């Protein structure tokens, strides 16, 4: 298992910088409450370098301070963006994850889901079920990382299962291909895609849909429940 410090990014790639920029823009887009005081409160200037440092690493709360006000991602009313709804679901499921990396992973999830024709909430629900967004998750069967790729599947997709950003993209690609393949062939391509992700496409073909495995049927049901819960955090316009 890779130690937590291995996830610290000293030289961020273009993809990581783009994701971090998306996080900052999302944060800057949040409105602030109107003050009714006659004296204007002083506001400290935004420390973008500090924000980037936190967003581009995987800090442990015991060693690294989080962004001020980050608890707002965990609590509050309905939100207008899927990224914020996903971050809330991640933080409520995995209390070991700090708010800034949770938001970064949520932004990457939404971006990669859209790029592969998937609802962001669907991909997020799948990753929550697979690993609770634990970037170091390792199953007894040998599944690795945030998307729980088996080594041979990861090699086929062409991703590094230990790299959470790479693995999110790989999961989005694989699920997107399954959904597209099963669309029109089965009544619900999302259920069938999840069954293929869990039990393999051969099992789906053999049984003509979701196989009669208790584990797979429960897996699909739990992800649909998580999907609905994430959507319930959103304020639809």
Cα–Cα distance, 51 to 36 (Å, whole number): 29
* Residue-wise burial string across 188-209, b where 16 or more C-beta atoms lie within 10 A, e elsewhere: ebbbbbbbbbbbebebbeeeeb
- How many CA atoms are closer than 13 Å to the CA of 113, on its beta-carbon side? 19
- Give the active site residue among 81, 130, 221, 234: 130
Cα–Cα distance, 111 to 37 (Å, whole number): 40
CA distances from 166 to 58, 157, 170, 221, 226 (A): 15, 10, 6, 26, 23
Joined tokens for residue 30: 């949040």
DSSP string, 76-125: SS-BSSHHHHHHHHHHHH-TTS-HHHHHHHHHHHHHHHHHTT--HHHHHH
Q: Give one word for 35, left, alpha or beta, with left for phi > 0 and alpha for psi -120 to 50.
A: beta
Residues in the chain: 237
Task: Judge whether 121 counts as a catalytic residue.
Answer: no
Cα–Cα distance, 55 to 128 (Å, whole number): 20
| Spatial CB neighbours of 53, under 8 Å, sequence gap ≥ 6 | none
Catalytic center residues: 130
């Amino acid at each position: 298992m890779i130690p937590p410090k291995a996830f610290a990014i000293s030289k961020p790639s273009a993809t990581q910088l783009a994701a971090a920029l998306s996080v900052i823009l999302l944060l800057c887009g949040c409105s602030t409450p109107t003050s009714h005081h006659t004296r204007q409160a002083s506001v400290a200037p935004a420390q973008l370098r500090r924000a980037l440092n936190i967003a581009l690493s995987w800090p442990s709360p015991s060693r690294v301070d989080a962004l001020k006000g980050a608890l707002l991602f965990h609590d509050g009313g309905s939100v207008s963006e899927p990224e914020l709804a996903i971050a809330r679901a991640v933080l409520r499921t995995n209390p070991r994850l700090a708010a800034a990396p949770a938001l970064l992973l949520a932004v990457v999830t939404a971006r990669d889901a859209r790029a592969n024709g998937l609802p962001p909430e669907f991909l997020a629900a799948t990753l929550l079920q697979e690993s609770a967004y634990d970037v170091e998750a390792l199953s007894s069967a040998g599944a690795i990382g945030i998307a729980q790729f088996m080594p041979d599947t990861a090699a086929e997709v062409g991703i590094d299962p230990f790299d959470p950003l790479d693995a999110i993209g790989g999961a989005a690609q694989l699920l997107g291909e399954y959904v597209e393949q099963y669309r029109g062939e089965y009544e619900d391509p999302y259920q069938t895609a999840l069954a293929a992700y869990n039990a393999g496409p051969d099992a789906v073909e053999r049984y003509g849909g979701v196989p009669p495995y208790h584990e797979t049927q429960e897996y699909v049901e739990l992800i649909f429940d998580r999907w609905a819960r994430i959507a319930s955090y959103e304020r639809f316009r």
